[in-house]
Amino acid sequence: MLTRRAVAPVVVSGVVVLGSAFVFAPWLGIARAPVLAAVLPARAVVSVCVVVAAVVLIVLGVARRRSRVMAFAVGAVLVALAGANGAVLETRGFDAGPPHVAGGLRVFEWNTNGGLVGPTAIGRAASAGRADVVVLPDAGSSAAAEAVAAAMGSGSGPMRVFAEPGAQVAVLVRDDLAAHATMHPGIDPVKTLVVSVPGGPVILAVHAPQPLLRGLAGWRADLDWVRRRCADDADVIVAGDFNASVDAFGGGGLGSCQDAASTVHAAGLGTWPTSVVPALAMPLDHTLVSPAAGAVRSWTIVRTEDGSGARHRPTITVIGVRAW
C-alpha cells in the first residue's frame, strides 16, 4: 500500500504534466485536442481558479501536518503554472486601444445569437461604430439582416446585405463599396459566407461550431478552411465567432491572415460572456486581416452593449486597406 510520502511525487508529477499541457498547448501542437480545444479560451479564469486552489492547499498544509508535504508541493506547482499562464496572457496583451481611429475600413462584428438582440439595437451599435462592413455570425435569417441594414440610419450610409437563404451568417457592406459584389457559401453553407468585392478584399464570415463532441471535427475544418483561404498572396478579411482563442491558431493568425487583436497587443481580452469583464472573458470573436488587404490600425471591444441581452460583445476593427 502506497504511503503519503510515496503518493506525493505521483500527484505532483500528474499536476505538472496536465498543467504544462494546458499552458504550453500551442507550442506542443495539442491546442486542437479534445477537451483542451474547449478549455484553452478560458485561460484567464483558469489562472484565477488555480491561484485559489493553491492558496487553499497551502492553508491546509499549514493546518494539517500529515498532509503538509503534498499540499505545499502541489500548491507550489500550481503557483508556478498560474504564473506561466499569466505570462502567456500578458504577452498577448490587454491593451483596450482607441475606440474610434480615424480613416480606414471599419469592420463591425457581433454574434448576437439570433434573436437575443433586436435589429434596431444591432443597427444602432453598428451605426455608432461608423461601420463600413458588418459581420453577423448568427443573424438568424436574411430578413433579420435586412432589418439591421434598415435600422443603421445615416451613421454608415446605405448597406447592401449578403445572406444566403437558410443561412445564419450575414454580411452587410456599405452600398457604394459593394456595387458589383458577389457571394457564395463557404465550407459550411449555414455558418460561413464568402463575399467577393471587385477592387477590395474578399470578406469571409465565420461562425465555427463549439469544439465539443461532434462539433470538434467541424470546428477544425472551419479553421483549416480559413487558413487555406489566407494564402500568402490572398487579399482577405475574416471576421466572426471562431469559438477559439489564438491558441487554436498556432500563433497570432491563420495562414497569412493576422489576428487584429494580436496585432494591437489585445489578444488577452475576451468577448464572451458579457457577464464578466473582458480581462476574464474568453476571446472567441476575431477579425483576421491578410497583409495584402491592409494594416490593422485598431481593434476594440465594444462594452456599451453589455446590457443588450447579448452573450458576446461586439468588436470594431479599423483597417488601413490597400484598395477601396
**174's grid cell:** 456599405
Choose among 107, 98, 165: nearest CA to 136. 107
Instruction: Evaluate if residue 1 carries a pLDDT over 50.
Output: no
DSSP state of 280: T
C-alpha–C-alpha distance, residues 256 and 212, integer Å? 27
- How far CA 205 is from CA of 102, 134, 234, 275, 320, in Å, comes to 24, 10, 16, 25, 19
**229's grid cell:** 483561404
- CATH code for the domain defined by 105-321: 3.60.10.10
Q: Give the model's confidence band at 252: pLDDT under 50 very low, under 70 low, under 90 confident, else very high.
A: very high
C-alpha–C-alpha distance, residues 126 and 148, integer Å? 9
In this prediction, residue 155 carries a pLDDT of: 65
In this prediction, residue 213 carries a pLDDT of: 94
Average pLDDT estimate for 33-39: 97
In this prediction, residue 19 carries a pLDDT of: 94
Q: Say what percent of the chain tops pLDDT 70.
A: 94
Residue 76, classed as helix, strand or coil, is: helix
Q: Say what percent of the chain tops pLDDT 90.
A: 77
CA–CA–CA angle 25, 311, 165 (5° rounding): 95
Residue 34 in contact with residue 10, Cβ under 8 Å? no
Instruction: Evaluate if residue 149 carries a pLDDT over 50.
Output: yes
Instruction: Evaluate if residue 197 carries a pLDDT over 80.
Output: yes
Residue 194 in contact with residue 228, Cβ under 8 Å? no
Q: Give the model's confidence band at 288: pLDDT under 50 very low, under 70 low, under 90 confident, else very high.
A: very high
Q: Which residue has the higher pLDDT, 30 or 199?
A: 30
Omega within 30 of 0 (cis) for the link into 273: yes
Q: Where in the chain is the domain with CATH 3.60.10.10?
A: 105-321
**179's grid cell:** 456595387
Q: What b/e string do you get for 205-231 counting C-beta neighbours within 10 Å, with b at 16 or more?
A: bbbbbbbeeeebebbbebbebbbebbe
Average pLDDT estimate for 102-130: 92
The pLDDT tens digits of the residues spanning 270-281 come to 999 999 999 999
The pLDDT tens digits of the residues spanning 203-249 come to 999 999 999 999 999 999 999 999 999 988 889 999 999 999 999 99
What does DSSP say about strands 202-207 and 236-241: parallel, antiparallel, or unpaired?
parallel
User: Chain-wide mean pLDDT for the chain?
Assistant: 92
C-alpha–C-alpha distance, residues 31 and 251, integer Å? 11
130 dihedral zone (left: phi>0; alpha: psi -120 to 50; beta): left
Residue 289, classed as helix, strand or coil, is: strand
Please provide residue 280's backbone torsions phi and psi, each rounded to the nearest 5 degrees: -110, -10
Residue 260, classed as helix, strand or coil, is: helix
Residue 247 in contact with residue 300, Cβ under 8 Å? no
In this prediction, residue 100 carries a pLDDT of: 63
Q: Give the model's confidence band at 73: pLDDT under 50 very low, under 70 low, under 90 confident, else very high.
A: confident
What does DSSP say about strands 182-185 and 159-162: parallel, antiparallel, or unpaired?
unpaired
Residue 176 neighbours by CB distance under 10 Å = 11
In this prediction, residue 13 carries a pLDDT of: 87
In this prediction, residue 98 carries a pLDDT of: 67
Q: Give the model's confidence band at 96: pLDDT under 50 very low, under 70 low, under 90 confident, else very high.
A: confident
In this prediction, residue 6 carries a pLDDT of: 66
Instruction: Evaluate if residue 161 carries a pLDDT over 80.
Output: yes
In this prediction, residue 58 carries a pLDDT of: 86
Instruction: Evaluate if residue 2 carries a pLDDT over 60.
Output: no
CA–CA–CA angle 81, 244, 108 (5° rounding): 125
